[in-house]
Amino acid sequence: MGRTRLRCRPAPSLALGIETRRSRPWSAPTRLRGALVPLALWGGLAPPSLAQTASAGADSDPTWTRGFGYGVTLSAVQSRDDLLAPLRWRGPGFGLKASWDWGGNDRRHAVALRMPISILSNRFGHRGYAFAPALTYGFLTRVARSQDTAAGWLGGRMRLDMFNAFYESWDDEHLYWITAYSLGPTGAWRGRFRGAPAWATLDVPLLAAVARPPEPRLNQIDRLTRLGGHLVDPQKDARVVAFPDYAAVHAAVGVVLRVGGSSFSVSYILDWSRYALPARVALLSQSVSISRGPAT
């Protein structure tokens, strides 16, 4: 097993601050070189999470186990929706996550669900709330592998990202949402950091169907008092757009830690998205996740 260490010189792998010590030679089927390296290192499962579970022994790549994963996320959330006003709202979030990974050593499928809620406020101290579930499915193929289990994966990912906000103190009658069904390439790097399994992932949606609130809207036309309204209404009238009209990045880095005989994953997840219709909306979420199992 190769050890990982922190490096202080610019290199593609250092974009994450980690690198495998013995990153060469790469073994079959493909060597990662040049421009492929950052893709391999910034790639893949979002939100990723990895742990060595009972199934780990069955995998030739112990950094990516299969099965069910679950965990929690703590987030710092920011939003700006000019449909309401060009105000930045920010605040903490808390969420649950679950995942299911399956497939062989060279091809993997990964489904993940996140259910975070957050409490927001603007610079006037006005309060808001957001519910931002995300459901993803990724299919990845291993494109490179080093001698010591570091591997690069490339593939595609379908995502459903919702951000459903209620800016109570500013507009107590409407929901402000952006719902994006997106498709795009994904890449993942999986290796080791200081001896522990580690990974990095990147999703960049290229095609999306994006739903936003209509303009104009009547008073209280959103079904605030009904849970179904919060989930169904934000799906309506989606518009198909391509990058960069809908621009988003979903990236993550993580490592598996072992404490007292139990292993769990700690990861940092970055979600950013921007869309312009019917008015500019931008979201930025940075999360720390703690999970067990291959929560993807």
- Give the footprint of another protein on this chain (CB under 8 A): 7-8, 10, 14-17, 78-80, 84-88, 90, 123-124, 126, 168-174, 216-221, 223, 225, 229, 270, 282-284, 286
DSSP conformational letter for 234:
G
In the chain, the N- to C-terminal Cα span, in Å, equals 23
Answer whether 269's CB lies under 8 Å from 252's CB. yes
Answer whether 26's CB lies under 8 Å from 36's CB. no
Residue count of the chain, please give it: 296
* Least distance to another protein, CB of residue 272, Å: 8
Looking at the Cβ atoms of 69 and 93, the one nearer to another protein is: 93
Looking at the Cβ atoms of 173 and 237, the one nearer to another protein is: 173
* Least distance to another protein, CB of residue 117, Å: 19
* Least distance to another protein, CB of residue 196, Å: 18
Looking at the Cβ atoms of 121 and 147, the one nearer to another protein is: 121
* Least distance to another protein, CB of residue 39, Å: 18
| Interatomic CA distance for residues 77 and 75, integer angstroms | 6
* Least distance to another protein, CB of residue 177, Å: 15
Residue with token string 């089927």: 29
Helix (H) or strand (E) holding 265, with range, is strand 262-275
Distances (CA, A) of 216 to 105, 238, 255: 51, 16, 46
Answer whether 243's CB lies under 8 Å from 204's CB. yes
Indicate if the alpha-carbon torsion angle 186, 191, 197, 198 is positive or negative: negative
Looking at the Cβ atoms of 59 and 168, the one nearer to another protein is: 168
* Least distance to another protein, CB of residue 84, Å: 7
Looking at the Cβ atoms of 31 and 223, the one nearer to another protein is: 223
Looking at the Cβ atoms of 60 and 220, the one nearer to another protein is: 220
